[in-house]
A and B are shown apart, each in its own frame.
Chain A
Amino acid sequence: MSQSNRLKGGLIQTDKPLNFTFDGKSFQGFQGDTLASALMANGVRLMGRSFKYHRPRGLLTSGSEEPNALMELRSGGRQEPNTRATVAELYDGLSAQSQNRWPSLERDMMAINDRFSTFLTAGFYYKTFMWPKAFWEKLYEPIIRKAAGLGSLTGEDDPDLYDKGFLHCDLLIIGAGPTGLSAALTAGRAGAQVILADEDFELGGRLLADANAFESRSGSDWISEVLGELNALPNVRIMPRTTVFGSYDHGIYGAVERNADHLATPQADKPRQTLWRIYSKRALVATGAIERPIAFENNDRPGIMLAGAVRAFANRWAATPAHSVVVFGNNGDAHATARDLMAKGVNVPAIIDVRSDAPDCAGTEVLAGAQIVETKGRLGVTSITVRLANGQHREIACGSVAMSGGWNPNLGLTCHQRGRPSWKEDIHAFVPSSDLPVGQSVAGAAAGDLSTHQALMGGATKAVEALNALGVTATMPDLPEAEDRPVAITPFWHVKGAKRAWLDYQNDVTVKDVKLAHQENFTSVEHLKRYTTLGMATDQGKTSNLGALAVMAELTGKPIPETGTTIFRPPYTPVAMGALGGRAVGKDFHPTRLTPSHTWSEEQGAVFVEVGNWLRAQWFPKAGETHWRQSVDREVLQTRNSVGICDVTTLGKIDVQGADAAQFLNNIYANAFAKLPVGKVRYGLMLREDGVAYDDGTAARFADDHYVVTTTTANAVLVYRNMEFARQCLWPDLDVQLISTTEAWAQYAVAGPNSRKLLQKIVDPEFDISNEAFPFMGCAEITVCGGLRARLFRISFSGELAYEIAVPTRYGDALMREMMKAGEEFDVVPYGTEALGVMRIEKGHAAGNELNGTTSALNLGMGRMVSKKKDCIGNVLSERDGMNTEDAYRLVGIKPVDSSATVPAGGHLMSATGPVDAAHDQGYVTSTAYSPILESSIGLGFVKNGAERMGEKLRLVNPLEGQNIMVEIVSAHFVDPDGEKLRA
C-alpha cells in the first residue's frame, strides 16, 4: 500500500524511509514517524478492537493519552503488549500486531459481544453471575478471566537490560512544550541545575503540532534555537523520551527514559529503559492539556479523532486520516484544525459547531448550532448525519471526523499526593488547585492557560519564582510574540438522545452506562468509576473522565465541581515491569554473600544452600554417595569420632568496646556479663521487649572494656540494629561503641575429639591450648601458622570438644587449606550446615526453629538465666503470668517408640489416647533429624510442662499428612548430657 494519506511538509525526514509491518503486511514510513502516523499515512484506519464489545477502533489521539490504538510490538521475549501506536517511534524493521481479536482485526469473532450490548451493560457481571453460586469458581470466573485482558505476552524471558538511576536538580521541568522550554531557558541561563524531561522523542510539545503558534516565525525554528542554547549549557540536562510518571514525597519524581525502544534491539550491554528517581528542589509541571472528545452516536468508528490530534498528524507528521475530514466542535480551537487541514490540501466539507454564534471559517461551511447525530461505516467512518440548527438532518460523506470538546489541563502529577483540582469556569475544565505537592508549581496549559503566549510567559515566570525561592537570581528571557487567542468555548459534553455514545473508548463505557449507574444510585464518582469501569483501562481515562462526570452532573443536577473527580495515581502512563525491576532479576535479585572458604568448598564439590544472602556449604558429597543423608551421616560420624571443620563466618560478630561495655551487655542480655572474666566466653540469650527470646549467641571478653558478641546468622543485622538503637536511644550516657566485624574475620568451627590435636599443629607453639591452659569457654588472641594474628574460642555447638578459630578474612581460604592438610592424619572432614544441624539437635541446642518468636527463656529451659539481680531488655515482661504458668511449654527431646519410624517436623503432640484436636494439644515438634550416632530419628519440641514428663509416650500427629506415630518424651540432650566431651 502506498502512502496515500501522506501530505506535504511536516517534520519527518522523507529521505530516510523505514520499513515496517502491521499484522504481517509491509508498509513504509519515514524517520520521525510514529507507528500511528506511518499507519495513518498508509491509509490504515482500523488499528484495534475495544475491550468489551470488540468494536473496530482507530486512532483517537496523537499522544500518550491514546485509548484505542494498542498493539503488540516486536516478538519473542521482546514482545510488548498494549503499546500505544501514538508513542511508538518508528524504526526500520518494526513489527506490530493488532491484539484482542480473533482470527483477524477485520473479522473478529468476539465482535459478537457488540450484538449483545443490551445485556452487557455496566455492572452486568455483578448481576448475571450471582447464581447458581457454585458456578462462580468453576465456570464464570475462568470464562471472564479468559475474556479479559488485551495484549499477550510470550512467556519468554525478556532478554534486555533495564537500568535504575538517581538524578538531582534544582529545577525539574516536566514537559518541553512552549511552557517547559521557556522555563528551561530561564533557569538554564540563571545557572541552576535543570532537568528538562519530555515523553516525546521530539521536544516542542504543541509547537510541533500547531502551524501558527508564533506571529512571525515557525515553531520549529524557535525550538531549534532554544534547544541549541540549552544543549550548550552544562547545567541543563535534556531528557527526551522520558516520561515523568509520578510525584512522590519530598520533591522526588519517578521517570522512565526509553533508551532503546526506538531501536530494533538495544546495543549490547545497554539498557532498553532506565527508571530514574529524580530528587528535585523545585519542580515545574508543564505537561500541557489533553483534548476531550464529544459523545455522540457511534462516535467510536475509526477515523473519528480529536481535532488537535488530526492537526498534529497533518502539521508534524504530514499525514491525514482521510482526504475529507469533517470538524465537530464547541470551541474556537477546532476551527484551527479546519484551517490547517485546508492549508495542507485536505478537503473539509464542513465545520459542525454546536455554538449558535460560531464564527465563519474561510474555505468551508460552518454549520453553527448543529450537532452530529449519527455516523456510518463498518470498519471506518464513511459519512455522518448532522442535525442542523433548524432541526433538519443532513448527511455528509467523509473519511474522518475531527472533534473537539475543549481542553483539559493535564494535571495528574499535581494530584498524585491526593491534591484535588479546582474548577475553572472560563475554560470549563479542572485546573490544579493551590494544594500542590511541596516544591511543585504548574504553568502553561497544565495550569489552564491555553494560549501559546500564556504558556511562554507562565513557564518563564514560574521558573523565576522557583529559583528565587532557592536563592538563585533569574530573569525573564526575551520571548517571541505568540498567539494569544481567548478560549471561546460553550460547554458541550454529549449529544442528547444518542443510544450508544462513547465516553471511555478503551473500556467501552457509554453515556447510557453512566445513566444506568445513576439509575442504580451509583452516583458518587468513585462508585461511578467502579460500577462502569470508567477510567480503569490502561489510559486511566485521560480522555473520558471529565465527559462522564459531566453527564453524571447533569443527571444529578449538581455542578461538575461538586461532582468531583476520582483520585489521580501514579504511574501517569504504564511503566514496564522490567523497568521497575531494573537489574535485580534472576540471580541478581539480591546480593550474594560468599564465605571465605567458598572457593575451596566449590573445589570439594559442596552443595550450597542460601541462608539469607549467604551461600553456605550444606554438605560435601563424596564419590559413591548417592543421597544427601549418606554425606551428612558420614560428616557427623567422622566429626564425632575424630574431627570436623565447618565455616561459621556467617555468624554475626559485633565488637563492643567502651568503659561501660560490661554494663551495656548486662542490659542487652538476659543473663549477666559484667563479671565475666577476661579470657572467657559466655552463652547469652537476648529477649525482646515483650519477654520473648529472640536471639542467642556468645560474648567473649578480650579486655575489661572489650567484648566480641556473636549472633545467629539470621539475626546478625537485627541484633546489631537493636544494639545500636539501645546505645543511641535507650542508654546514650553509657560509654560504649559498637561496630560489626562479621566480615572482618574468617571463622571456623573445629569440632571432635581430635580438634585440639589438629589445632596444636596450626596454633603457634607459644600459645598453650591444652585443657588446663585453655579450658572450656576460654578465649584468647593468638597467632597461627607462623605469626598471623588470630582469635581462638573454646566453644561448642556440636557438643564435642570444639573450638572456633578466626583469622583476618583474606587468610581464611589459606587457613582452611592448612587445617585440612594438618588434619589429614586425623581423617578430618569438612562438614556443612546439615551435619551442623544434626549435631546441635543431638546436643539439644536451640536454633531458629526453637527461637521462633513465641518462646520464652522458660520454654527453652533457660528460665533461670534471666537474671533477677539486674535489669535487662525484656525481663519485666517475661514475668507476666501468662508466660509462667505451671504447664508452660518446655523444650524436650522426642524419639519414636519404634526406632525405625521417622519423627516429622511440625507435627503436634497429643496424649496417647483421647481426641486429636487443638483443645487437647500437648505441644509441637520444632526440629528433627536422623541421628547416625543413635541410629534413630530424633526431634526437639515444646511440650506442656515437658520437664516433668520425661518418659511419657505421646502421639505425634499431623492430620494434614495423615501422620500418627507414638513418641517418647526424653531429655533434649541426646548426646553427652553431662558435657564431659566438651570439657575434655
Chain B
Amino acid sequence: MHNLKPITPLGGATPRVDTIGAMTITEVVDCAMASVAARNDQRDAVKSALAGKISLPEVGLSTMEAPYSAFWMGMDQWMITAPHESHELLAQEVKADVGDTASVVEQTDAWCRFDVAGQDLCDMFERLCNAPVRSMAAGAALRGTLEHLGVFLWRLEDTTMAVIAPRSSAGSLHHALIGAAKSIA
C-alpha cells in the first residue's frame, strides 16, 4: 500500500457536507469513474462485453446496477462508476471486459461530485442551470452548464441530483451550490 493521503476536491481530508434549509450538499469522493467510448461500429459489442457488469443506457439516461452505475455522455460514450473504495482501478477492470471494442479512460479524479438532496431540489436547480429539472425523471442524466462549468447533472432520485463538474473548480461550484441553496432556504 502506498503512503499518500488523498485530499478531497475541496481540499479537505474528509468530504464536506452542508445542510441548508431543506437541502443537503454532500461532497462525494467514494466514486471511481471510467469513460467508455465504443470503437467504430463496436457499440453492440461493448454493450455485450459489459452486460455482466452494467447495461449501458440510452441517450440522456443512466442505469444503476450495484455496485456499478453508468450514464450516457455522448454518442456511443458512457461513464461507468463504482465505489472508489472497492473499485479504485475501475478503468483497468472495465478495459479488461471490453478489450479492443472500446477506449477506456480513467476519469475518477477529472471530476468532483456533489450530491444535492432535498425537497426543494427543483427550486434550487432552476437557479443554477437551464436543465428542465422539473421534467427530469430519476435516472435522467444531462450535460449542461452550471457556474460557467461544463457539468453532468444526474438525477439519482426525485429529491437527489448529482452534479459532476471539473475537479479543479470544485470550490467555485460548491460556492454556487451553497448560494442557490441559501437563496431558496
Interface string of B119-161 (1 = CB under 8 A from A): 0000000111111101100000000000111000000000000
Interface of chain A residues 729 through 761 with chain B (CB within 8 A) = 733, 735, 737, 739-746
Query: Is the C-beta of A970 less than 8 angstroms from some C-beta in chain B?
Result: no
Do B110 and A740 touch across chains, with their CB atoms under 8 A apart?
Answer: yes
Pair A735/B40 contact, Cβ less than 8 Å: yes
Q: Which of B100, B110, B185 contacts A269 (CB 8 A)?
A: B185
In the bound complex, how far is the Cα of B127 from the Cα of A167, in angstroms?
9
B148 to chain A, nearest CB (A): 5
Mask: chain A, 134-175; 1 = CB below 8 Å from B; 0 = not? 000000000000000000000000000101111110000000
Q: With an 8 A cutoff between CB atoms, is B86 at the interface?
A: no
State which size class the interface on B falls in: 35 or more
Chain B: CB-nearest residue to A592? B172
Q: What B residues does A813 contact at CB under 8 A?
A: 5, 7, 11
Interface segment out of the listed B53-61, B64-72, B176-184: B176-184
Contact present for A164 and B107 (CB under 8 Å): no
Most buried by A among B1, B166, B185: B166
Cα A279 to Cα B107 with chains together (Å) = 33
Of all chain B residues, which has the CB nearest A818? B4
Question: Do A165 and B105 contact each other (CB < 8 Å), given the known contacts A739-B37, A786-B3?
Answer: no
Q: Which of A344-352, A583-591, A769-777 contacts B (4 or more CB under 8 A)?
A: A583-591
The chain A residue with its CB closest to the CB of B6 is A810
Q: Which of A771-802 contact B (CB under 8 A)?
A: 783-789
B115 contacts partner chain A, Cβ-Cβ < 8 Å: no
Q: What 0/1 pattern do residues 239 to 278 of A give for CB contact below 8 A with B?
A: 0000000000000000000000000000001110010010
B residues within 8 A CB of A871? none
- Chain B, residue nearest A167 (CB): B126
Minimum distance in angstroms from B7 CB to a CB of chain A: 5
Q: B81 in the interface, Cβ–Cβ < 8 Å?
A: no
Which residue of A269, A739, A787, A813 has the most chain B CB atoms within 10 A of its CB atom? A739
Partner of A739, one of B5, B35, B149, B175: B35
Q: Is A595 an interface residue (CB 8 A)?
A: yes
Evaluate contact between A657 and B2: CB separation under 8 angstroms. Answer: no
Task: For the complex, give the distance between the alpha carbons of A270 and B180 in Å.
Answer: 9
CB of B162 closer than 8 Å to a CB of A: no
Q: How far is the CA of A187 from the CA of B79 in the complex (A)?
A: 40
Q: Which residues of the partner chain B approach A167 to less than 8 Å between Cβ atoms? A: 126
Whole-angstrom CA separation of A706 from B172 in the bound complex? 33
- Find the residue from B89, B102, B109, B166 having the highest chain A CB count within 10 A: B109
The verdict on A892 contacting chain B, using a C-beta distance below 8 Å, is no
Distance in Å: Cβ of A762 to nearest Cβ of chain B: 10
Q: Out of B11, B111, B169, which one reaches A613, CB within 8 Å?
A: B169
Q: Please, which residues of chain B bring their CB within 8 A of the CB of A818?
A: 3-4
With A737-B39, A739-B37, A743-B168 known to touch, is A591 a contact of B183 (CB < 8 Å)? Answer: no
Q: Which of under 10, 10 to 19, 20 to 34, or 35 or more describes the interface residues of A?
A: 35 or more
Is the CB–CB distance between A593 and B6 below 8 Å? no
**Which one of B2, B39, B148 lies within 8 Å of A591 (CB-CB)?**
B148
- For A812, list chain B residues within 8 Å (CB): 7
B168 adjacent to A599 (CB under 8 Å): no
Q: How far is the CB of A840 from chain B (nearest CB, A)?
A: 23
A809-B109 in contact given A588-B172, A591-B169, A737-B37 (Cβ < 8 Å)? yes
In the complex, the answer to whether B148 meets A814 with C-beta atoms within 8 Å is no
Do B148 and A163 touch across chains, with their CB atoms under 8 A apart?
A: no
From B7, B129, B135, B149, give the contact of A810 (CB < 8 A). B7
B49 on the A face (CB < 8 A): no
Interface assignment of A807: CB less than 8 Å from any CB of chain B: yes
Q: Mark B68-85, 1 if CB is under 8 A from A, else 0.
A: 000000000100000000
**Contact: B109 with A744, CB < 8 Å?**
yes
Q: How far is the CA of A168 from the CA of B125 in the complex (A)?
A: 12
Q: Chain A nearest CB: distance from B98 CB in Å?
A: 12
- Kindly report which residue of chain A lies nearest to residue B134, judged by CB atoms: A168
Tell me which residues from 85 to 106 in chain B have a Cβ below 8 Å from any Cβ of chain A.
89, 100, 102-103, 105-106
When C-beta atoms are compared, the residue in chain A nearest to B42 turns out to be A735
21 chain-A/chain-B pairs, Cβ below 8 angstroms? A163-B127, A168-B132, A279-B130, A584-B148, A588-B172, A588-B175, A591-B148, A594-B169, A599-B7, A659-B39, A705-B100, A737-B77, A739-B103, A744-B109, A786-B1, A788-B2, A789-B89, A811-B2, A811-B4, A814-B5, A818-B4
- Please give me the 10 A-B residue pairs with the lowest Cβ-Cβ distance, nearest first: A657-B103, A809-B109, A591-B172, A269-B182, A744-B110, A814-B4, A810-B6, A737-B37, A593-B168, A737-B103
Residues of A within 8 A of B (CB): 161, 163-168, 193, 269-271, 274, 277, 279, 583-584, 588, 590-595, 598-599, 613-614, 649, 655, 657-659, 705-706, 733, 735, 737, 739-746, 783-789, 807-815, 818
B residues touching A (Cβ–Cβ < 8 Å)? Answer: 1-9, 11, 29, 35, 37, 39-40, 77, 89, 100, 102-103, 105-111, 126-132, 134-135, 147-149, 166-173, 175-176, 179-180, 182-183, 185
4 other contacts beyond A269-B185, A592-B171, with CB at 8 A cut-off?
Answer: A166-B126, A739-B105, A744-B110, A807-B4
